[in-house]
């Protein structure tokens, strides 16, 4: 252990964040890194506790606690404290495929389970990870080595999101010939088009993809596997194994009168349009026409809803209102949500911060939903009627449900509505084309604790397997699925 009393000597210090009034003017990343000497002090705060919950990656009360990748956090923090950045990168890369993604978009499950955070601020493991991986890139330490021997096995990965990329990376390193198919025009899946550029600069994805290509991974974009049954049949003949990593891309809709009105979009559809416009124009054209001078309603209080808030503000929205079905969370843990469970407490994310700066108030309205979308004469949405909700027990099922409060309706102006209500599971046309079984949540069914589907030679990973989740869990899924594919093809695995 490097600094036995570090957690007593140093307070937590985060990297600088560009002020709201500046960052809302563009789509550049706004989280900055600390100087390395200061980052070493932050790593010194790690207690190297006897039971490091930070790396457990266990489900507690239905929520993930600690890192699903099982990164050996205390070891990495100790190496950062000592200034041994090359060794820190080597340690991190043993368990992690893409630290450059998670250090930007992960909610830091490791920090929520940090022992130091039980009584004070947790160790800044996420920023320590960013310091390690960016140091490694800057000093030429990150390499995707092409395997010296090829196995002769061919594997298709359908989907180039975090789970697909992780599976492709490891299978290629093992010596298999890997082809990744992506239906969009660029590689990255959710990373590319589901997360705004100010959270994850797309050059970070391009940097890694180029290295994977140089190491032998083949990428085919603009290919929508599953729309042609004959094509799927041919794919099965051509490849020794297929990994379905298509995500949980079936968005949950809002069934309310007037839903057919113009100006109502699913959140990822909206975010994709914005990112594609920026990338197609090399960031010279900002699609202000999507939200400028419009009253924007965002339905959904999660990360994607927050991204819609931040994006709408950058596009010049007149106002932004975010609707959340559930009650406002407490500001501190309740007795029933004890550490090291994920803390179910109020979070003010970057989008809400920017809305408070821009409009003078938090954009969120809790315990409410849309009762009706109101159209103008041209058939476009002009307002929404919202209704308050309360929690009541359903007599038939015994479950608590959020139900409308009679007489609580109110109408608010809306020129653009973005539905960020989550996802229901995998898309039926893909699962039907491959003939794989699905469970009650439309996720692909696999063997107990594994990644084999009901169809021999077809595997699955990521959100398509476990449902809508986090980038870090998707990467862990991709790595684990790659190991199972390798074992089945070769009889053993050294992954």
- Mean pLDDT, to the nearest integer, of 114-138? 96
Model confidence at 1: pLDDT above 70 = no
- Mean pLDDT, to the nearest integer, of 407-413? 96
Model confidence at 163: pLDDT above 80 = yes
Model confidence at 443: pLDDT above 80 = yes
Model confidence at 230: pLDDT above 90 = no
> Tell me, what's the pLDDT at 397?
80
- Mean pLDDT, to the nearest integer, of 161-177? 98
> Tell me, what's the pLDDT at 382?
98
**Average pLDDT, whole number, for the chain?**
96
Distances in Å between the alpha carbon of 108 and those of 55, 64, 125, 130, 402?
A: 11, 11, 8, 12, 29
Model confidence at 262: pLDDT above 90 = yes
- Mean pLDDT, to the nearest integer, of 282-306? 97
Distance of CA 137 to the CA centre of its chain: 22
Candidate from 304-318, 422-436, 471-485 with smallest mean pLDDT: 422-436
Confidence of residue 477 (pLDDT cuts 50, 70, 90): very high
> Which has more confidence, 49 or 451?
451
Model confidence at 485: pLDDT above 70 = yes
Token pair in block for residue 92:
């991190």
> Tell me, what's the pLDDT at 50?
86
pLDDT tens-digit readout, 72-92? 999 999 999 999 999 999 999
CA atoms within 13 A on the CB side of 318: 9
> Tell me, what's the pLDDT at 370?
97
Q: Set out the domains of the chain in order of their start, with CATH numbers.
A: 6-138 (1.10.1060.10), 154-249+424-490 (3.50.50.60), 264-419 (3.50.50.60)
Model confidence at 307: pLDDT above 90 = yes
Residue found by looking up tokens 């919950």 in the block: 53
> Tell me, what's the pLDDT at 420?
97
Share of the chain above pLDDT 90, in %: 92
Distances in Å between the alpha carbon of 230 and those of 142, 225, 433?
A: 40, 10, 9
Dihedral class, residue 265 (left if φ above 0, else alpha if ψ from -120 to 50, else beta)? beta
> Tell me, what's the pLDDT at 399?
86
- Mean pLDDT, to the nearest integer, of 386-399? 88
Model confidence at 286: pLDDT above 80 = yes
Confidence of residue 249 (pLDDT cuts 50, 70, 90): confident
Confidence of residue 197 (pLDDT cuts 50, 70, 90): very high
Model confidence at 117: pLDDT above 70 = yes
């Amino acid at each position: 252990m490097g600094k036995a009393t570090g957690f007593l000597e140093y307070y937590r210090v985060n990297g600088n964040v560009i002020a709201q009034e500046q960052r809302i003017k563009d789509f550049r990343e706004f989280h900055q890194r600390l100087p390395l000497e200061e980052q070493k002090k932050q790593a010194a705060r790690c207690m190297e506790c006897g039971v490091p919950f930070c790396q457990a990656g266990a489900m507690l009360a239905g929520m993930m606690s600690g890192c699903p990748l099982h990164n050996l956090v205390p070891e990495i923090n100790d190496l950062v404290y000592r200034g041994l950045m090359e060794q820190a990168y080597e340690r991190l890369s043993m368990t992690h495929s893409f630290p450059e993604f998670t250090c930007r978009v992960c909610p830091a499950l490791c920090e929520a389970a940090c022992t130091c955070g039980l009584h004070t601020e947790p160790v800044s493991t996420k920023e320590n990870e960013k310091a390690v991986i960016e140091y490694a890139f800057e000093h030429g330490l990150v390499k995707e080595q092409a395997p010296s021997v090829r196995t002769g096995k061919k594997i298709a990965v359908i989907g180039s999101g975090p789970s697909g990329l992780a599976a492709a990376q490891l299978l290629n390193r093992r010596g298999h010939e890997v082809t990744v198919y992506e239906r969009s025009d660029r590689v990255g899946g959710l990373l590319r088009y589901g997360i705004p550029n100010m959270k994850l600069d797309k050059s970070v994805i391009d940097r890694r993809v180029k290295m994977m290509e140089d190491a032998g991974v083949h990428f085919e974009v603009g290919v929508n596997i599953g729309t042609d049954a004959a094509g799927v049949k041919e794919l099965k003949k051509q490849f020794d194994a297929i990994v379905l990593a298509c995500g949980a891309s079936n968005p949950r809709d809002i069934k309310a009168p007037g839903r057919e009105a113009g100006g109502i979009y699913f959140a990822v559809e909206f975010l994709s349009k914005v990112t594609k416009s920026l990338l197609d124009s090399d960031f010279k054209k900002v699609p202000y026409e999507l939200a400028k001078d419009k009253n924007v309603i965002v339905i959904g209080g999660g990360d994607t809803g927050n991204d819609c808030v931040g994006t709408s503000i950058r596009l010049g929205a007149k106002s932004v209102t975010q609707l959340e079905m559930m009650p406002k969370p407490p500001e501190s843990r309740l007795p029933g949500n004890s550490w090291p469970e994920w803390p179910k407490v109020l979070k003010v994310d970057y989008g809400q911060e920017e809305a408070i700066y821009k409009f003078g108030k938090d954009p969120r309205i809790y315990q409410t939903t849309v009762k009706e979308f109101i159209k103008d004469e041209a058939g476009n949405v002009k307002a929404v009627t919202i209704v308050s909700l309360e929690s009541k027990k359903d007599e038939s099922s015994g479950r608590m449900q959020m139900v409308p409060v009679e007489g609580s309706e109110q109408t608010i102006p809306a020129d653009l509505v973005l539905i960020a209500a989550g996802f229901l599971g995998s898309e039926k046309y893909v699962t039907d084309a491959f003939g794989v079984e699905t469970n009650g949540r439309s996720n692909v069914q696999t063997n107990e604790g594994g990644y084999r589907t009901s169809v021999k030679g077809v595997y699955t990973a990521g959100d398509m397997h476990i449902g809508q989740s986090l980038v870090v869990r998707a990467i862990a899924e991709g790595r684990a699925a790659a190991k199972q594919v390798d074992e089945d093809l070769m009889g053993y695995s050294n992954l």
